[in-house]
Structure 1
Amino acid sequence: MHHILFFGDSLTAGYGLKNAKTESLPALVQQKIDADKLPYHVINGGLSGDTSAGGLFRLDYWLNRPIHVFVLELGINDIIRGISPQTTYKNLQAIIDQVKQKYPTVKLALMGMEIPAFVPGSFAAEFRTIFRKLADANQMAFVPFYLAGVAGKPHLNLPDMLHPSAEGYRIIADNVWPVLHGLL
């Protein structure tokens, strides 16, 4: 059995869902894997509120088991907290480096995040580019915008308009699955 680690924040953990064990993205991907009878087990390593620095700090715990596919979804809490895009980039690269060092043959996927285009300034513009740069530099499978088709749509989000509903996660899973399936 091969292991897929989804490593992220509340968007991985399934914050606010009635049953994250069946409705979060990692759970939905496991359902797709099972339907295709693929020999993979998905692990949800999401922690609500986590930043890239927090992820780097807690990474060792998650690397104490064999990992064959590593899916990285971190960074949006950095922007919410005003952490510089350079620092976010550096932390995410350090996470990728540690994973590759421990598991040289691991397959990597990056879930990109975007700030709405109406947010002005170089800070927002710089943040929008870090995920593509990381994916290219590390030859990672890449989903340019994790929340594509869901962000800003009230009926696909919880009342906070930050976290997807169960219906929103089904759309995300349909968007992410082709990229992940290509790695498997």
Structure 2
Amino acid sequence: MNQPQLRRREWMLHCSASLLTVSLAVPLALPAAAQGKTSTLQAGAPRRILVLGDSLSAEYGLARGSGWVALMTQRLQGQQLPADVVNASISGDTTSGGASRLPALLQQHKPTHLVIELGGNDALRGLPLNMTRENLRAMVKAGKAAGAKVLLVGMQIPPNMGASYTRDFEASFKTVAQEEKVPLVPFLLAGVADRPDAVEWFQSDRIHPLAKAHPLMLDNVWKLLRPML
């Protein structure tokens, strides 16, 4: 096991005792950006990016405008890539919640690109992985059927659910991405959770990253999303 893997495991072990409690305690509060508001770079922009995620994308515990989705809007503008960004992320959401919300979101916003960042709360609640995979698969299929290019964002969890569950959970994203032939961000928190000083990059709950981590999270997504644009 190399040093980044060891650091990532240390971070996961450190936060595993509180993960389930915090995840279940997070209210399903819809952020302002998900209430039908969009960040528009140019009128009539040809691209519209819909982000469907949980608290990691909903700016939980952060000042508005400092999360990776908001930073993506700034990067698009800075690189003169006309696009609208719709953040439909909800703290505490699961793949079941995302799958049930997605059809209406697709109909309302008609995105050209769909970024799916869900699954972490499924694992923290010990939900069956076959259900998580089916929900991820359904969301990918729905996005493709609506004409959107889909990007799947992977997540990893602490080993408190058992080594097999932890391993299979991580593999679920890869399985769906390969089956549906869509690009995959292997781990949204890469470069954050595996840092030597990882604990200094997270909020007091040791789960949600601080604002300074979100540019790195955006970089992880951008590597796959930019070629799709």
- When normalised by structure 2's length, the TM-score is 0.75
**1:16 paired residue among 61, 68, 88:** 61
Give RMSD over aligned pairs: 1.5
1:169 aligns to what SS in structure 2? helix
Summarize the alignment of residues 1-184 of structure 1 with structure 2, pairs less than 5 Å apart. 1=45, 2-19=47-64, 22-63=65-106, 64-103=108-147, 106-116=148-158, 120-151=162-193, 153-184=198-229
- Greater than 6 Å deviation, 4+ residue runs: none
Q: Distance in 2 between matches of 1:13 and 1:61?
A: 19
Q: Which residue identity does 1:182 align to in structure 2? A: P
Cα shift readout 1:52-88 (whole Å, capped 9, x = no counterpart) = 0011111123112221010000000000111011110
Cα shift readout 1:36-56 (whole Å, capped 9, x = no counterpart) = 101111111100000000111
Q: Which residue identity does 2:168 align to in structure 1? A: E
* Aligned-pair CA distance for 1:155: 1.8
Aligned length: 180
1:7 aligns to what SS in structure 2? strand
Q: Distance in 2 between matches of 1:158 and 1:62?
A: 30
Gaps of 5+ in 1: none
* Aligned-pair CA distance for 1:96: 1.3
Q: Mean Cα displacement is larger for which, 39-48 or 172-181? A: 172-181
Q: Which residue identity does 1:42 align to in structure 2? A: V
1:23 aligns to what SS in structure 2? coil
Gaps of 5+ in 2: 1-44
Q: Mean Cα displacement is larger for which, 5-14 or 170-179? A: 170-179
Q: Distance in 2 between matches of 1:150 and 1:84?
A: 27
* Aligned-pair CA distance for 1:119: 5.9
Q: Distance in 2 between matches of 1:116 and 1:148?
A: 14
Q: Distance in 1 between matches of 2:78 and 2:66?
A: 16
2:155 aligns to what SS in structure 1? coil
1:162 aligns to what SS in structure 2? coil
Identity of aligned residues (%): 37
